[in-house]
Copies of this chain bind each other. A is one copy, B any other.
Amino acid sequence: MAVYTEVTDDDLSAFLARYDAGSLVAYKGIAEGVENTNYLVQTTAGRFILTLYEKRVAPTDLPFFLGLMEHVAERGVSCPRPVHARDGTVLSQLAGRSAAMVTFLDGFSVRKPRADHCLKLGRALAQFHLAAADFELKRFNALGETGWRPLFKKIEDRADDIVPGLQALIGAELDGLDANWPRGLPGGIIHADLFPDNVFFLDDRLSGLIDFYFACNDAFAYDIAICLNAWCFEPDYAFNLTKGRALLEGYDSIRTLEPAERQAMPILARGAAVRFLLTRSYDWLNRPPNALVTPHNPFDYVRRLRFHQSIRSIAAYGLGDAA
């Protein structure tokens, strides 16, 4: 969300000289992505996004992220595509950081997604899952079900500072998730952070997916559960069944949901709510004073979690129980 690392014109020109990507015309630091520094780079050959990876991204994960983007782009997913230098590499050093340049994606995220956006999102998510199926690298989901209790330990003592009762709520929920978390669901690489911010539309067409820096191996249906949380609740926390149905039907039209996935959807949605409740609580409690960027309010995910706790079947999200 900020330009943490400044890149000089000389350094950028030298960087570009390693590519067949034209010469520098203009560049601007942009407020995109939470963890990295990004520049929009205009050259005589086109527009690119230059990313400098800041400390929170593990350098060992970069071949996974960049390889994944290239892999799915080659299989028809619209997403930024890493640009290769003349020596074939996609990753190099710039201003003391690991850096990569990707193609610019037209379009912009929608603040208030409608049902037709959710339909297109569902389709694109399934296409992404299928396209990534034969990608050779793997990445453990450190923010998956096994990671939630360790994260809870870090915030447990202060959770009630956010909202009274939060400690007990999460504690009880984690007990239930540990006991009932589904195993053996169809899985592969998931995006794991496909919020409206990370999906671009242009002229009502979904023009692309961005920000693959949480991608990892997990259950496909868990990725859908994240999207149900992120796309289908109204500002008053009501679940919008029309949007839920659109998302699920869109997905199902490309990759048919198995009965076990349908059955697991309520608990997956509870898990997804807990995952964001935990990280947002952590960020909330550890926010620097006077920070320019206010962290997301964790309470949004308390309300989502309560909805998921109240329902028993995928029908409540808009899709029939059986295929």
Question: Interface of A with B (CB < 8 Å)?
Answer: 1-4, 8-10, 24-32, 40, 42, 104-112, 200, 202, 288-292
Find out whether the CB atom of A2 lies under 8 angstroms from the CB atom of B106.
Answer: no
Complex contacts, A42 vs chain B, CB 8 Å: 106
Find out whether the CB atom of A32 lies under 8 angstroms from the CB atom of B28.
Answer: yes
Find out whether the CB atom of A31 lies under 8 angstroms from the CB atom of B10.
Answer: no
Taking the closest CB of chain B, its distance from the CB of A202, in whole angstroms, is 7
Find out whether the CB atom of A30 lies under 8 angstroms from the CB atom of B40.
Answer: yes
Q: Do A110 and B9 contact each other (CB < 8 Å), given the known contacts A25-B202, A30-B28, A31-B31?
A: yes
The distance in angstroms between the C-alpha atoms of A29 and B3, with both chains bound, is 11
Give the interface SS of chain A, mostly helix, strand, loop or mixed: loop
Find out whether the CB atom of B112 lies under 8 angstroms from the CB atom of A26.
Answer: no
Complex contacts, A3 vs chain B, CB 8 Å: 1, 31
The distance in angstroms between the C-alpha atoms of A26 and B31, with both chains bound, is 13
Taking the closest CB of chain B, its distance from the CB of A140, in whole angstroms, is 31
Residue of B nearest to A111 (CB): B8
The distance in angstroms between the C-alpha atoms of A2 and B290, with both chains bound, is 14
The distance in angstroms between the C-alpha atoms of A26 and B29, with both chains bound, is 15
Find out whether the CB atom of B31 lies under 8 angstroms from the CB atom of A2.
Answer: yes
The distance in angstroms between the C-alpha atoms of A111 and B42, with both chains bound, is 18
The distance in angstroms between the C-alpha atoms of A26 and B106, with both chains bound, is 6
The distance in angstroms between the C-alpha atoms of A188 and B108, with both chains bound, is 43
Q: A8-B111, A9-B109 are in contact. List 16 more A-B contacts (CB 8 A).
A: A2-B2, A2-B31, A3-B31, A9-B110, A25-B106, A25-B107, A26-B105, A26-B107, A26-B108, A26-B200, A29-B30, A30-B40, A31-B31, A290-B290, A290-B291, A292-B292
Complex contacts, A288 vs chain B, CB 8 Å: 290
- 25 A-B pairs, CB-CB below 8 angstroms? A2-B2, A2-B31, A3-B31, A8-B112, A9-B108, A9-B109, A9-B110, A10-B111, A10-B112, A24-B108, A25-B107, A25-B202, A26-B104, A26-B105, A26-B106, A26-B107, A26-B202, A27-B108, A28-B28, A28-B31, A29-B31, A288-B290, A289-B289, A289-B290, A291-B292
